[in-house]
Amino acid sequence: MTQFSANLGFLWAELALPDAIHAAKAAGFDAVECHWPYDVPARLVKAALEETGLTILGLNTRRGDLEAGENGLAALPDRVAQARAAIDEALAYAGAIDARCIHVMAGYATGPEAHDTFIANLRYACDGARENGVTILIEPLNRYDAPGYFLTSTDQAQAIIAEVDAPNLALMFDCYHVQLMEGDLSHRLADLMPLIGHIQIASVPDRGAPDHGEVNYAHIFRVLSDLGYGAPLGAEYKPGGPTAQTLGWMAAARSEWVET
């Protein structure tokens, strides 16, 4: 049976994070993940995880100055100190809640200097994460939702992972972003599977529940099964209303999985 992780940056976003963890457990999710939990004391998140028995798969580094529209710091040549402070903060928080992965956000930047800065900051993150067995993730974002973001394609991510050459650096393969930028999800998943550390799902193009739109997720789930991928898939979609009313896709996916 396929497993699913609730991304609590989008699902049950109206609840306090510990309450959202309990809601995810009650709804039948196998794990959780989040975006920026830093305003919530880690001990409260840890307690909710222990009470529910859920694993938290990952979290993001801070975006930076939100009023200035920043969306990550790791590729910004003039923000290295702040980027590394954000990485340190994420490592400490992940350690306190036993999170498995940290998504290091690149930010809005372009050019060779941004590339070199991103490489150096990723090496810093991987070195810091290695001792605790944490995986560092990088995620290409689509140019419609995040115009100007440094990392936009899986080819670019693959080249960066090869250049950093760290065993704990992996690709966050978000089907929503990859479909918008590249399409051909089945082949991209097969080709990139050795580099993938986490997979996320949402409908395309509206980023709603993964039960409509241009991606046939029943097919994608079968592809992942054939590829031997068994980790929970991150449901990172915008529910557009009460989350509980959007979860029919999960029951249907599990039913089909059992039947096949």
Query: Residues with catalytic annotation?
Result: 139, 236
Question: Would you say how long the chain is, in residues?
Answer: 260
Q: CATH for 4-259, among 3.90.700.10, 2.20.25.570, 3.40.50.1820, 3.20.20.150?
A: 3.20.20.150
- At 2 the pLDDT is 85
**Cα(132)–Cα(155) distance, rounded to whole angstroms?**
28
In the chain, DSSP assigns E strands to 4-7, 31-33, 55-56, 58-60, 101-103, 135-138, 169-174, 196-201, 233-235
Please tell me the number of Cα atoms within 13 Å of 134 on its side-chain side: 31
Q: Residue 57, Cα to own-chain centre: how many angstroms?
A: 9
User: Dihedral through CA 189, CA 192, CA 198, CA 200, nearest 10?
Assistant: -30
Per-residue tens of pLDDT for the chain, all 260 residues: 689 999 999 999 999 999 999 999 999 999 999 999 999 999 999 999 999 999 999 999 999 999 999 999 999 999 999 999 999 999 999 999 999 999 999 999 999 999 999 999 999 999 999 988 999 999 999 999 999 999 999 999 999 999 999 999 999 999 999 999 999 999 999 999 999 999 999 999 999 999 999 999 999 999 999 999 999 999 999 999 999 999 999 998 887 644 44
**Are 124 and 102 within 8 A, CB to CB?**
no
Residues 198-252: tens digit of each pLDDT: 999 999 999 999 999 999 999 999 999 999 999 999 999 999 999 999 999 999 8
Residues 21-35: tens digit of each pLDDT: 999 999 999 999 999
**Cα(18)–Cα(2) distance, rounded to whole angstroms?**
25
The residues spanned by each domain of the chain are 4-259
- Count Cβ atoms below 10 Å from residue 195 Cβ, excluding itself: 16
Contacts within 8 Å (CB) and 24+ apart, 123-126 = 123/164, 123/166, 124/84, 124/87, 125/74, 125/87, 125/91, 126/164, 126/166, 126/168, 126/169
**Cα(215)–Cα(220) distance, rounded to whole angstroms?**
8
- At 181 the pLDDT is 98
- At 254 the pLDDT is 81
